[in-house]
Structure 1
Amino acid sequence: MPVAHTLEGPLSVDVLGRQDPELAEILLAELARQTTTLQLIAAENFTSPAVLAALGSPLANKYAEGYPGARHHGGCELVDVAERVAVDRAKALFGAEHANVQSHSGSSAVLAAYAALLRPGDTVLAMGLPHGGHLTHGSPANFSGRWFDFVGYGVDPESGLIDHDQVRALARSHRPKAIVCGSISYPRHIDYAAFREVADEVGAYLVADAAHPIGLVAGGAAPSPVPYADVVCATTHKVLRGPRGGMLLCGSELAERVDRAVFPFTQGGAQMHTVAAKAVAFGEAATPAFTAYAHQVVANARALARSLAAEGLLVTTGGTDTHLLTVDPAPLGVDARTARGRLAAAGMVLDTCALPHPDVRGLRLGTAAVTTQGMGETEAARIGALFATAVRDESAGRRVREEVRNLTGRFPPYPGQ
């Protein structure tokens, strides 16, 4: 009789421990790290056990180049069903006419969007990297900066908000083939209608890089780019709380171009275990519980922002509309890299980021993961106080670390594991 399931649970490493104890030890150590420190990286979250189960499923064995009903490999009858479920759930969740769920990452999704709409050498208007743009928005170290002519817009130096007058002026001057709206560290909602208006004026495609806010969109806690953008690029992790991967949403008129840009132009076979895990995440995101979660993520981020501001840190734009915020620790007497080191020693994991000032870096943090753990605004405010204590006083790291350990112990991401 075949063994249907050899693991005790999605986080069990019993089988791996018998086969490869060295790797099992690493996995267990990583689980301990994640569950005893505060995960404040804005791009990270805890997936559900169901998502993890799909990722560790036999679908990982299957080659499936192509699309449902038109694969280049045999034996795809069941993975075709899984992909159709993922596509249908994504379309329903975001109100899109077409969804491609095969992209391996957010960067892969952006590459496919460019491949569908642009040719090498075309001009693209996107947020400049010093103001919060992503590598795929024109970095010279990335394919985007090597293949296309990027022009960067920025934020107002006083308010920290996107300078839409500058966006319009640059669009009129450079006549880009595409305009990209989206950022890795902009804490406010994007005005997609304003970008659509400029794109229409200059005859440009509008690409929304919604990797960060798409989970909030799914939960009704952020405006949707789908009605405005020609193509929406997104990740399926972050606030959406699915597996690490990407997806694209578009209208039916661009569906074939987008699909062909993913396969065969930019990547080969889909990772069917990941596609199935995306389907699980889309199903979870369509529930009232996820809607409540998404709104709590924002409430927690705002509580954290207020706490940090009260402690003397400079919170950019004066707060946040989303799951993330960026802060300058300089008022506490340290630079961002020093602050990140002190916070890491205290059990608080986050990133540095560019701030819209020459040669100034800040700290980027988010509340998606701690909200998944069940923390609320009271805990978010306390995290802000612990954050400031650790940054101000290097000698307080051990004391803060103990309080962090107590806090995470009260809110385990995987109870019972």
Structure 2
Amino acid sequence: MSYDTVRETDSTAAELLEQERARQNDTLAMIASENHVSEAVMKAQSSELTNNYAEGYPGERYYGGCEVADGIEQLAIDRAKELWGAEHVNVQPHSGSQANMAVYLAVLDPGDKILSLDLTHGGHLSHGHPANFAGQVYEVEQYEVDPETGYVDYEGLRETAESFDPDVIVSGYSAYPREVDFERVQAAAEAVGAYHLADIAHITGLVAAGVHESPVGVADFVTGSTHKTIRSGRGGIIMTSEEHADAVDKTVFPGTQGGPAMHNVAGKAVGFGEALDPAFERYAQQTVDNAKAFGERLQERGLSLVSGGTDNHLVLADLRPSHPDTTGKEVESALEEAGIVLNANTVPGETRSAFNPSGIRAGTPALTTRGFDEDACREVADIVSEIVESPTEDTVADVSDRVDDLAARHPLYD
């Protein structure tokens, strides 16, 4: 992919874009929420649909000239229905967080109650953190993971639901390495007359491929991101039943946004098409297998994993048991210097600031897209372990060539 046409009009921007392409080629992306889309998805996202204003929905637009936009949006909807088995799909949200906002607005009034997982235990800002709109508009109570096992405390969730009497219970998380029991959350919601919102932003692709249980048809609403494990156009998605279809559509447009980003919807359509290929199921399973191999090697090297392992695409390591004086930010910074990009993360029972927490979170979706297998992920785990043991410039210098070799053996974009 060339930026020559950009360079003709803006050499500064072209240089920055080329730097980003080089950065992605030469480093190993292990941010659990990141992935690498195909060149076909990137091409769709830079299409002429970026010029199109398409307020409304297919067949019901407020402007003319939307025949093609109708076709591409309906294609994305139809493919999403086939992937996840949903009755109704809205592909217009600009992000997973905005999808959550639309669901809240569809069923809640200001001051209504949300029950969700605590952020430091693996939840997400849009589930009711006080810095987020959800925590400012609604009353929020939070449940936690069991401090001994690292698994969601479903009994505690139900007890809290019975005492708090929420209007919505949120499942689905941003730093939880275990499979989610959506049925148990649904049972807790039904017991107190609450809606159940399952946010599968991180595991959208794993659910589509059948390597994680699906909340579609279980929860009242399912939201997700379309650019993480699903590798499609950047944005969000909402899935629900026909019963709630009109309410959701109205809170997406005009409730939370104007015209959809049709070029991103095109990327979603192309990416969903790729996910319908049987090869995607192999990719999703390999992503999980790679995360397991990566996590097991970290444990062999003495690191402690929250919940003792992983069932999905991410690993959450707690540095306190083995390296109590080392913070996640120290490790994150040293690894980035070496060419591995992951993030510092809070862990259950966090004793430090969220800005300099005690854990690190790593994911395998992007590595798997590059063709990494279990052995390659074990090599990465060895490098990460060495940095954790000694996050110094000397260690960075020692491991950088190995990172370069791994990146070269698994090329990304030309």
Q: Aligned to 1:269, what secondary structure does the other structure show?
A: coil
Q: Aligned to 1:248, what secondary structure does the other structure show?
A: strand
The residue aligned with 2:278 is: 288
Q: Whole-Å Cα distance in 1 between the matches of residues 385 and 123 of structure 2?
A: 27
Q: Deviation at 1:14?
A: 1.1
Q: Whole-Å Cα distance in 1 between the matches of residues 319 and 150 of structure 2?
A: 16
Q: Deviation at 1:337?
A: 1.3
The residue aligned with 2:339 is: 347
Q: Deviation at 1:182?
A: 1.3
The residue aligned with 1:382 is: 379
The residue aligned with 1:408 is: 407
Q: Whole-Å Cα distance in 2 between the matches of residues 271 and 224 of structure 1?
A: 27
Unaligned runs of 5+ in 2: none
Q: Whole-Å Cα distance in 2 between the matches of residues 334 and 372 of structure 1?
A: 31
The residue aligned with 2:300 is: 310
Among 353, 361, 376, the residue aligned to 1:364: 361
The residue aligned with 1:94 is: 84
Q: Aligned to 1:81, what secondary structure does the other structure show?
A: helix
CA deviation digits over 1:340-363, x for unaligned, max 9?
111111111011111111424310
Q: Deviation at 1:399?
A: 2.2
Q: Whole-Å Cα distance in 2 between the matches of residues 183 and 259 of structure 1?
A: 24
Among 204, 208, 229, the residue aligned to 1:239: 229
Q: Whole-Å Cα distance in 2 between the matches of residues 413 and 248 of structure 1?
A: 30
Q: Whole-Å Cα distance in 1 between the matches of residues 80 and 220 of structure 2?
A: 16
Among 147, 152, 155, the residue aligned to 2:145: 155
> Normalization by structure 2: what TM-score?
0.97
Asked whether the 8 Å contact 1:319–1:325 carries over to 2, the reply is yes
Q: Whole-Å Cα distance in 1 between the matches of residues 272 and 234 of structure 2?
A: 13
Among 172, 183, 189, the residue aligned to 2:162: 172
The residue aligned with 1:335 is: 327
Q: Whole-Å Cα distance in 1 between the matches of residues 81 and 33 of structure 2?
A: 23
List aligned pairs for 1:41-60, cutoff 5 A. Answer: 41-60=31-50
> Normalization by structure 1: what TM-score?
0.96
Q: Deviation at 1:128?
A: 1.1
The residue aligned with 1:209 is: 199
The residue aligned with 1:120 is: 110
CA deviation digits over 1:186-214, x for unaligned, max 9?
00010000011111111100000110111
Asked whether the 8 Å contact 1:97–1:250 carries over to 2, the reply is yes
Q: Whole-Å Cα distance in 2 between the matches of residues 342 and 328 of structure 1?
A: 17
Q: Whole-Å Cα distance in 2 between the matches of residues 42 and 151 of structure 1?
A: 26
Asked whether the 8 Å contact 2:342–2:362 carries over to 1, the reply is yes
Q: Whole-Å Cα distance in 2 between the matches of residues 220 and 50 of structure 1?
A: 24
Unaligned runs of 5+ in 1: 1-10
Q: Whole-Å Cα distance in 2 between the matches of residues 212 and 372 of structure 1?
A: 15
Asked whether the 8 Å contact 1:112–1:266 carries over to 2, the reply is yes
Query: Aligned letter for 2:349?
Result: H
Q: Deviation at 1:139?
A: 1.1
Query: Aligned letter for 1:321?
Result: D
Asked whether the 8 Å contact 1:329–1:339 carries over to 2, the reply is no
Query: Aligned letter for 2:382?
Result: A
Q: Deviation at 1:243?
A: 1.9
Asked whether the 8 Å contact 1:189–1:321 carries over to 2, the reply is yes
Q: Whole-Å Cα distance in 2 between the matches of residues 299 and 160 of structure 1?
A: 20
Q: Deviation at 1:252?
A: 0.7
List aligned pairs for 1:103-114, cutoff 5 A. Answer: 103-114=93-104
Q: Whole-Å Cα distance in 2 between the matches of residues 278 and 31 of structure 1?
A: 21
Q: Deviation at 1:54?
A: 0.4
The residue aligned with 2:245 is: 255
Q: Deviation at 1:402?
A: 1.3
Q: Aligned to 2:177, what secondary structure does the other structure show?
A: coil
List aligned pairs for 1:6-155, cutoff 5 A. Answer: 11-155=1-145
Q: Whole-Å Cα distance in 1 between the matches of residues 84 and 92 of structure 2?
A: 17
Q: Aligned to 2:25, what secondary structure does the other structure show?
A: helix
The residue aligned with 1:3 is: none
Among 196, 210, 213, the residue aligned to 2:186: 196
Q: Aligned to 1:152, what secondary structure does the other structure show?
A: strand
Asked whether the 8 Å contact 2:234–2:267 carries over to 1, the reply is no
